[in-house]
Chains A and B, each alone.
Chain A
């Protein structure tokens, strides 16, 4: 018995100095396990007198508590060390670029088109499509451009078999709009248009336009200017923009305007971007010509409207200061991939 107690005395030291979790466990089993030293000593207490039994029991209990506390402390130390080791071992270089697929980019034309579509839809405009191969009637005649009109010379038209043509502007969708909707209505029509022009840094035969039209009982120049300012403020991300209307001749509007925006580089004081005029020519617009309303099946005495045409390709070039229009339809990912990522 005395020997056993002596072993118990040494047990504390053994627990504290167990070199591995496994040895710690072995010592625990040997000392305080169910068949360990304490249990064995407890069994031997039956031979003792009642007084001795009380004293020994108390002593064993104290010893057991001490040993268990030592065990737990030692075990916690091991766990903590193991965790430290794991954390240390799990070091990662998080600056290494990720694997997996990065998002691609929508074409910048699509992006600006979507922005403008969303704006106009929010103001009650429907979005319309029209064919890229058009009839002469829709592209010219119905827009008050009869065969003898010199304006047909201004349009360098691609003609195709069957007497049709590649639309030279999105304006034919005006006619389709009048044929589709009952007035009053508001619509825009973005799309691809074609001009028979040699391609160079600033000329393209294929580009994207956005046509807009509002038809109602009382539509004024003041209303047109209002929508144009709203549109341009949105496009250029400004609270307000300064615009001006000046006379412009387009057979399908009367009166017709060129709308200029005050140069945003120099704020109107003159710079190379605006050719020192303080203004940048942006879009043609006007009140819908009564003849166009008539050809669209509307009575010009009852209905009026405004129409405008916006060159999306040109807007993209302005927005990103793209120096060569040929990038737009190049399919070159070195160019296109630059337009990805979320923007607020």
Chain B
């Protein structure tokens, strides 16, 4: 049995075998492979979307689910340390899915816990199941992960999902296009990461139709007001990063639009009905991916 803390720990072979497992769960989601087991979901920080996805995954595998959905109802509100909470819960559960507002919390928990930990987000640090569902969505819609044009749009500075996606795609020779306002541009450390891993990229400050026309995956992220130190800059750029249906007239037929959700306005509602819109199915794919991850951490055939 083993924990899943970060996508960076997974080899190419491991990624591909998890994606194949997720595909088998999509074909047959209700399999009682975890009959009699208990999965704990410890959400020290609330995230209804992620928690429901993990809990549905565990339920469809036949496991019982225990846990809490925010720190106010947990023992950590009484000042209990993370370690003590993990040790207590590991007496009851076979696997712990945890989300925490502090960075590195999942790594630490995985080192003190006698049962596997799945990181469901640790502050601004890692959220590997999100990255796995992004990979699964890309593979499913493109038929391959190799040699794709991937356009990352919006908040590339604080957006951990885009950073993890770059790391996960390092095995598959992508060409990235980074599209962000100057204040939210891709940090130097990730561009250095690209150089070190032979990943090519281009940088842009505007989302124009020409860029959209030449891409396979358009990965949109939230551009949040609170990320800007200069609110004038926010007012100036907020509409530049809104995707509308009329921008999708000349795309490649295989183009798909992804978004980690929830959106706050960066994808206009008229895009929802376009054949390129994929963000709702993408969220659904999270279920199959999480089934695969739970089984893998428990070393149960998935």
Q: Do A and B bind each other?
A: no
- A→B interface (CB under 8 Å): none
- B→A interface (CB under 8 Å): none
